[in-house]
Each structure stands twice: as structure tokens, then as C-alpha cells.
Amino acid sequence: MFYQLFRCYGFGGKKIALSILLTLGSLLLVSCGSAPRIDSSTEIEIDKPPVDRGLRLPPRATDKEGMRLEKSASAVDQLLVQANTAIAEKTLGKASALVERAIRVAPQDPRAYFSLAQIRYRQGQQGQAKSLAQRARALVGNDTALLASIVQFQKSIR
Amino acid sequence: MPNSTKASKASTKKSRKSTRDNRSVWSPIYWFKKMAGLILRVLFRPLAFKVYVVLATVLAAYIVYLDATITSSFEGKKWQLPARVYARPLELFEGLAISANEFEQELKDLGYRQGSSTRAGSYYRQGNQVTLHSRGHTFWDGVEAPQQAQVVFNSHELTRLRELNNNALPLLRLEPMEIGAIYPNHREDRVLVNIQEVPPLLVAALLAVEDHRFYEHRGVSPSAIARAAVQNFKSGAVVQGGSTITQQLVKNYYLTRDRSLSRKITEALMSLLLEFHYEKEAILQAYLNEVYLGQAGDRGIHGFGLASQHYFNRPLSELSVDRLALLIAIVRGPTYYDPWRNSERAINRRNRVLDILVVRDLLSSQDAAWAKAQPLNLGKQSRSHYVFPAYIDLVKRQLREFYQNSDLTSNGLKIYTSFDPRIQRHAEQAIIAGLKSRDDKQLQAAMVVTEPGTGEVLAVVGGSKPRYSGFNRALDAKRSIGSVIKPMVYLAALSKPRQYTLATLVDDGPITIVTDGKEWSPRNYDRKDHGSVPLMVAMAKSYNQAVARVGDDVGVDAVAEIMEQLGLEREVNRVPSLFIGATQLTPFEVTGMYQSIAANGYRTPLKAIRAVLDSDNLPLKRFQYQLEQGVDADAVHLIQRAMVQVGRDGSARAARRILGNEFIFAGKTGTSNAQRDSWFAGFTGDVLAVVWVGHDDDSPTKYTGASGALPIWTQLIKSASRRPLSSLASDEIDYQWIDLVTGGRSEKSCYNAAELPFIKGSEPQGIISCSSL
């Protein structure tokens, strides 16, 4: 019975199964214990990898890359500052080249895409501006201030 | 010319008249006039006169022609300059995924000197710390100044980037490596140098050795010719030339290499004309760029700028005295003094040049002694052009859409690409090692590697011998794509979230589709039926019967449209066998579709070129980053998850064992009929690669997608990719726990449950408790 229980919950040891049993009591037994899908005598093939129980496509925030992204942030900052200068000087081609460099340095950084969206808008490329803003928005994560600016930009170019 | 003819006629009349008037035989005037008359009569006999006039006219016309030749070609554009193709410049910043060894390799490829970092183009490495002095470069978005910097690495990335005085340095861009050039037919190659930028010692040494009276003569030096004639007479052979720099330039620039007298006369005439029209400096500058200094295959090495790269793999401004002297030595005979083939001869000649410099007070005897003690210090000879033929091929094709061939071979354009030498090296090694381990000598392979976010092409391998040009399979081999098409079929289904989700059960039982009276009954690879399985499982295990059923339901047009929305330009045959990939595409075309899937449905055309500059570094064309929403991003998020499953518990799970459980990637295997084609197409967070393996003659192989192409792909990813796949779900996506056997929504705790993404509202209703499974 205990064995069936931990198999059912996918836990790795009888001790854990036991503690779960003690904490949650018999209710769990009712919901789970009676009909295990795999016969208890069957061993799981070692060769076959276990099913990925909790696998999501990891978003950037929880990715290992999160750290690396922050490290490259100052490089991206520098390029975006230079791009803003170029925009102020009305050299949009140069600004665009600088922001594209930023995208290459950090392909997951929403700021670069948003900046490029604004440049394309100034260049009269509405369609590109929309697509880029959309992409920036998809990458924005939990930066609410940036999200708000992107949303406002999207409204303004509609 | 007409004037002189008139004058001659006039003088003839006058002389006849004067003969009648002075008849005294004793008068000297009589004799003078008589002789003159005789000469003139002979000269101006009707026939001789005509010949004379014709000859004079021809000579004058010839001089006018030579003059025109000189002035028209010497001014303005002097040379046809090939377009040069550059790799991506390496951008250094903290967090860049590169090891100290890889970084050092990059510096070596760029010809950086090891040992100190005092001059531009040098570096010093101590363990994981590198101090370097970059050269600087003019890019399309501005000038990158030379920079001294300190770089620190850990095992896999750059951790610290500072100026030497420890100031912060957010970003440092190295100069790009030249990876090829596009030559005119005669294949003369050169890198233009300006005389102001050439080391003064080089010019001084050139004049000292080749023409020390350059600033005194007017193009031809009679004393030099006389001296040479004496020397040659004494030794009974041609041992010394009396040619000035100007004559050598004329010979190189305008004339053929034969040694006839008439050519010598033409050479002298043109030299005089050249000196008449132009300043000494201009002639010298032209010489520095024109002179023939060696041969690399069928490519002629002209001028000191290119010769410096050719022999030493570094710019002229960075050459030491011994190297400069070697270049001067080679001027006398690039083949005879070829430092690679005739090293002893070259060293002797170089040392002779150094001696002359001492005699002329251009070099101290100590410095000369040091320079003489140096070996030849040649760069790597193997670093020849076209070592990446498949990639250069792609660059040329993309350029041809915008430029005429003549623009490319003559205007000195600079082509900046996204080529990544590090990735290319890994790709080539993966292919070579992957094919070597098979006992099939005919087996061929091709690979295209891109950056998944931007669609920039990083590397291309066109065959089993990547460094040989020839049939570029990556771009030109149209092959049956097999199951590599399945993500497109399922994407067409998942784009209808009311009908299909990753959990939707699909029937993998036998199926026959009838079109126009023709029956088509695909079978599974393992010849088994698998009953009803969730869509994601059918995709991961690559079941043919299930995909045919789903495809039949959504329709072949919907699948073809998805392929088009993903960027495919070729029209595919709209027949049911399309569902299992009975259509022929090139690896490059497959890459294009997978690129859009990797970029969350945004269509980003694959591009190799970032910018084109003219010879004055002015931007001509920018190939700007473009993206367009092709397929719904949420549907793409779902198919990405299914493609991840291919590597977790599907046909590509062998790769998981090598890359590790944590390293998430998405992909799909493909095998065509009778295993004629083996494919794997997949991507991580920073690399997308498509690998094809098969025979050129389309005969069957022993390999499936999983056993042929996948190991090569895995090897590339293992060595070149640093970032596992990540993908941000939009607000429209909900993750739910699903039982992978029944496709029903289950509890997190149930065995065989997996968390799958759903487009909101499409998730199965009602949680089933584990007990009822």
C-alpha cells in the first residue's frame, strides 16, 4: 500500500511517502491509492528518461541566463545611449545599427527591441514598428514600467 | 602635324630657288646648299616623303595614345579592387559566452602578436587573463578606436572587461577577420595603402635598393642604364637592370612581361610622359600599390599592403625591420625569392637589403645585426582565401540581388557578414568527425547554422570536405525532408485551438487517404500501430499514421500555407504525402522555416550580410533586421514544447544523454524513404542548426535522422551552444497538468503527468484524479 502510494505520487522514498501519509491522512489514500497505473512488479526502464513532470519552456526570468543577461546590461545600456544620441542627431540609420548591435549582444533584452520599434516608426516603417513592439512586449517579463511604455507606444501607433 | 607638313613643303620651294641663285662652286654656301638640296631631294622624294610623313604621324599618334593611356588610367580609379568579405566582429562584454582559449584563437586568426600588448595588434595572456591592444576599425555605425584592455575569463565566459587604468569598459569591438574576396577574372589582388601611412623606412629602403636617384631623374636614368650595360657586358649576361621605379611601374602597370627592344622603348617613352604629368609622390604611391609581390594559387599578390598580409598576416604598419627588408627583397623576384619555397635565398637577399640600408645610413649596424639574426617570421601560409567556400557562396548569392558582378569585382566594396569563425569551426569538426565514424565513404553531409533570434547565418558547411569548394549541398541539394515537416503539420492543427491542443488524442491506427482515385497508406517506421495518443506524444515519437490523420483533417492547403507563413518561398506539391515530408527542400530552406519557429513565429529572413560599405567606408546598403509575424506566437509556443519533447522522450532523446537533462533544446528528426535522407533540425537559446546526411546519388543509407544527422547536430550544440532554450509564454498561455497517456487533465502528483501549455480556453475540462487513470 505504501509502495503504491509513493509510486502514485512519484516520490523517491518510503520515508517521504510515510511522512506525506501522516500529514495528509487517509483522504489521499482514497483519491490515489487504489488503482496504480503501472503494475507494482514492473520496473521502470532505466534507459528511458523519466517523464518531465514540471518541464515548462523556461522564461528568461527563471533561466540560468538571467544572470548573464544582467551582466551584458551595461553593454546594452551603452549602445542604447549612443543610439539615443544618434536619434537626437537625426541619424536614424546609425541609431538603427547601434540598436541592432544591442540585439545581438542580448537577444532576449526587450529594451533593444522597443528602441528599434521606435526607430522604425520614425523611419516610417509602421509594420516593422508594430512587430518589434510586439516582440519587445513578449520579452518584457515583470518590468511593469517598461511594459507600460510599450503598451502606450502600441496604442499611439495604432 | 599639318603645320609641320606645310613648313616642309615651303622650305622645299625655297631651297630650289636658292640653288638657281648661287652658282659659284667655290662658295661654301654653294656646297652647303648643294648638300642640303641633295639631302632634301632624297628625303623628299615623293615616295620617301610619304613614308616619312606616315612614320612621323604614326609616332606622334603613338605618343598621343601613350599619353592618353597614362593620363586616363593613372588618374581617378587606378585599380579594380575586389570586394572584401568580413566575418562578424567579436563584441566583448561581461557575460559573453567565450573561453580564454577561444578568445586567444580569435586573436591569432586576426594576426595579433603574442607577448606584449604595447602596440596595436598585440596581446599578452596569463592563464585566464588577457591584456590586449586592439587595432580599431571603421564600421558602418562609426569608428572603433584602438583600445587597450584587460579581459578576464572563467571556464566558459568573459567575466571582466576593463581599460588598463581599471576604468569600466562596457563594450569593446575587435576588428573583423577577412574571410574572402570577390575577384575580377584576372585575379589581381591588392590592399591599397596611402604613402602617408606607409612606414617611412619601407619607402626609403625601396628607393635605396631599387632606385636611389629617384628624386633626381626624369623617369629614365641614362647613368643607371649605362652602369647596368657595363655590368652586363662584363659578366656576359643580364645581371643588373637599369630600370627606375618609374619604368618598373610602367612595366607592371601597362605592359607585358616580354623583353623586346620595342617594349623597352615604349617603356622609356611612357616613363618620361608619366614623370612629365605627375609628381614623384604620386608615382611612388602607385608603385607601392602596383608592384607584383607574390602568388597565392591563381591570385596575384600586388602591392605592399596585401603582401604584408600575405606573408606576415598583419598590416604593414606593424612590421618589424627584418620583415620590411624581406618585402623589399622580394621586389626583385617574387618567385625566385619566394620565402616559403626558397627560404635561404630569401634570407640572403633580405640581409643584402639590410646591408644597403646601413650603407645609406637608413639603419644602424646594431639594428641591422639584430634584424639579420631573425628568422623569416612568416605567417601561416594556409590562411588562404576561400577557406569557407560554402559561406562565401551564400554571401555572393545574397549580394547578387543588389549588385552587378562588376561592382563586386572592381569597386573595393567591404561586405560585413554575420559569419562566426568559432561556430564554423565547430560545425566543420562536427561534420568531419560525424562522417569519419561511419564506414561509408560516399556519405555526404551539409549544415546551416543561424542565430535563432535574429536569423543571421553564422556558419554553412556544404559537404564532407568543408574547405573545398564544389557542390554546395547546404544551398543546392534538394532532398526529401521526411518527418522534419511534422512540426508544420501539427502547427497547422494547433493554430485551431478549439480543435487541437497538445493533449488532443490522435488516432495512430492504420489509415488510407484517397485523392483523385489514388490510395495512400503511410506506415509507421516501427510497423506498429500505437492506438490513441496525445498529439504531443505522436509528434515526439514521430508516428506517421497519426500525422497523416491530423494532416488529412486540417487539409494539405493549411499545411502548405503554414510553410509559406514560416517563410518558405518554394511551392510544395499539395498532396497528402506532404504530411510525412514527401517534398524536396534544401537544408537552407528547412532552416528558414525552423528559424521562424525558433523566433516565436516571427518570420526573419535568413541573412548573411549586415552592411556594405564603399571603398571610402561610406555605407551603401544596410541589411536591416526585419521581422514579421508569420504564424500565431501562441501556437508556436505549443509546437516548441512538443519539439522539446522530441529531445526529452522522443526520437532525439539520445541527444539528451549527451547534452544533459538541464540543457533544453527543441528539434525534430527526419528520415526519408529507404533512409535516403537523414535530417535533424533543432535549436537552443543561441544556436539553430539544420543537418542533412545522405548520398549525392540519392541511394539508400544505413542511417535514420536519429542515427545519421542527430549525432552531428548534438556534437555541434555540445561544443558551440551555451544557452539552453528559453521561451516566454504570452498572457494567452496557461500551463496545465496533463496525463500523457489519456491526454486528460490530471493532478501534478500523478504518475505520467506533465505540465503542458494551452492557449487559454482550450485546456481540457475537469480534473481527473489519479485514481481514475
Across the interface, of B726, B752, B755, the residue whose CB is closest to A59 is B726
The mean pLDDT of B536-541, rounded to a whole number, is 95
- End-to-end CA gap in chain A: 62
State percent of chain B over pLDDT 70: 93
**Banded pLDDT at A31 (limits 50, 70, 90):** very low
Residue B164 has pLDDT above 50, yes or no: yes
The pLDDT of residue B371 is 94
Residue B758 has pLDDT above 50, yes or no: yes
The pLDDT of residue B772 is 56
Residue A4 has pLDDT above 50, yes or no: no
**Banded pLDDT at B509 (limits 50, 70, 90):** very high
Residue carrying C-alpha cell 555605425: B141
Taking only the tens place, the pLDDT of each residue in B547-578 is: 999 999 999 999 999 999 999 999 999 999 99
Residue B2 has pLDDT above 50, yes or no: no
| Smallest Cα distance from A153 to chain B, Å | 18
What does the alpha-carbon distance between residue A9 and residue A31 come to, in Å, rounded to a whole number?
11
Residue A49 has pLDDT above 50, yes or no: no
The pLDDT of residue B381 is 64
A8 contacts in chain B (CB < 8 Å): 749-751, 770
The residue in chain A having the minimum alpha-carbon distance to the alpha carbon of residue B640 is A57
What does the alpha-carbon distance between residue B697 and residue B341 come to, in Å, rounded to a whole number?
41
**Banded pLDDT at B238 (limits 50, 70, 90):** low
**CB atoms A8 and B611 under 8 Å:** no
Taking only the tens place, the pLDDT of each residue in B63-85 is: 888 888 887 777 755 677 888 99
In angstroms, the Cα distances linking B730 to A139, A153, A155, B256, B664 are: 9, 18, 18, 70, 19
List the catalytic residue out of B243, B308, B483, B651: B483
What does the alpha-carbon distance between residue B706 and residue B702 come to, in Å, rounded to a whole number?
11
Helix (H, G, I), strand (E, B) or coil at B163: strand
Asked whether B737 and B745 are in contact (CB, 8 A), the reply is yes
Residue A134 has pLDDT above 80, yes or no: yes
Residue B531 has pLDDT above 70, yes or no: yes
The mean pLDDT of B404-431, rounded to a whole number, is 90
Handedness of CA B486, B489, B492, B497 (dihedral sign): negative
Taking only the tens place, the pLDDT of each residue in B322-340 is: 999 999 999 999 999 999 9
State percent of chain B over pLDDT 90: 56
The pLDDT of residue B258 is 66
Q: Could you give the ipTM of this predicted complex?
A: 0.77
The residue in chain A having the minimum alpha-carbon distance to the alpha carbon of residue B599 is A135
Asked whether B179 and B87 are in contact (CB, 8 A), the reply is yes
Taking only the tens place, the pLDDT of each residue in B424-460 is: 999 999 999 999 988 899 999 999 999 998 899 999 9
The mean pLDDT of B529-535, rounded to a whole number, is 94
Taking only the tens place, the pLDDT of each residue in B246-291 is: 988 888 777 766 667 778 888 888 888 888 888 899 899 989 998 9
More confident residue, A111 or B184: A111
The mean pLDDT of B22-26, rounded to a whole number, is 61
Residue A34 has pLDDT above 70, yes or no: no
What does the alpha-carbon distance between residue B447 and residue A45 come to, in Å, rounded to a whole number?
34
The mean pLDDT of B587-612, rounded to a whole number, is 94
The pLDDT of residue B261 is 77
The pLDDT of residue B386 is 53
**Banded pLDDT at B183 (limits 50, 70, 90):** confident
Characterize the bridge pairing of strands B444-450 and B457-461: antiparallel
Handedness of CA B451, B455, B460, B463 (dihedral sign): positive
**Banded pLDDT at B679 (limits 50, 70, 90):** very high
The mean pLDDT of B15-22, rounded to a whole number, is 47
Closest-CA residue to B88 (of B173, B176, B180, B171) = B176
**Cα–chain center distance at B505:** 49
The pLDDT of residue B270 is 87
**Banded pLDDT at B587 (limits 50, 70, 90):** very high
The pLDDT of residue B609 is 95
**Banded pLDDT at A70 (limits 50, 70, 90):** low
Residue B630 has pLDDT above 50, yes or no: yes
pTM summary value: 0.80
What does the alpha-carbon distance between residue B27 and residue B312 come to, in Å, rounded to a whole number?
78
The pLDDT of residue B25 is 67
B521 catalytic per annotation: no
The residue in chain A having the minimum alpha-carbon distance to the alpha carbon of residue B623 is A97
Closest-CA residue to B692 (of B455, B460, B420) = B460
The mean pLDDT of B601-627, rounded to a whole number, is 88
DSSP secondary structure letters along B256-283: -S---HHHHHHHHHHHHHHHHHS-HHHH
Please state which architecture CATH assigns to domain A61-157: Alpha Horseshoe (1.25)
The pLDDT of residue B555 is 96
The pLDDT of residue B23 is 57
The pLDDT of residue B496 is 96
| Structural domains of chain B in order of their starting residue, each with its CATH number | 2-74 (no CATH), 83-181 (3.30.2060.10), 184-373 (1.10.3810.10), 429-720 (3.40.710.10), 733-772 (no CATH)
**Cα–chain center distance at B80:** 19
B93 contacts in chain A (CB < 8 Å): 71-72, 74-75, 105
Residue A8 has pLDDT above 90, yes or no: no
B210 catalytic per annotation: yes
Average pLDDT, chain B: 88
- End-to-end CA gap in chain B: 111
Burial class (CB in 10 A: 0-12, 13-18, 19+), B121: buried
Which one of A56, A63, A131 makes the best mutation probe of the B interface by having the most chain B beta carbons within 10 Å? A56
List the catalytic residue out of B210, B267, B290, B456: B210
What does the alpha-carbon distance between residue B703 and residue B710 come to, in Å, rounded to a whole number?
10
Asked whether B210 and B251 are in contact (CB, 8 A), the reply is no
The pLDDT of residue B223 is 77
The pLDDT of residue A83 is 94
Cell of B457: 547565418
Taking only the tens place, the pLDDT of each residue in B185-225 is: 667 888 888 888 899 999 999 999 998 888 888 888 877 77
Cell of B76: 581617378
**CB atoms A101 and B727 under 8 Å:** no
Q: Residue ranges per domain, chain A? A: 2-32, 61-157
More confident residue, B588 or B233: B588
The residue in chain A having the minimum alpha-carbon distance to the alpha carbon of residue B173 is A101
Taking only the tens place, the pLDDT of each residue in B687-739 is: 999 999 999 999 999 999 899 999 999 999 999 998 899 887 888 999 999 98
The pLDDT of residue B17 is 45
Q: Return phi, psi of residue B579, to 5°.
A: -60, -25
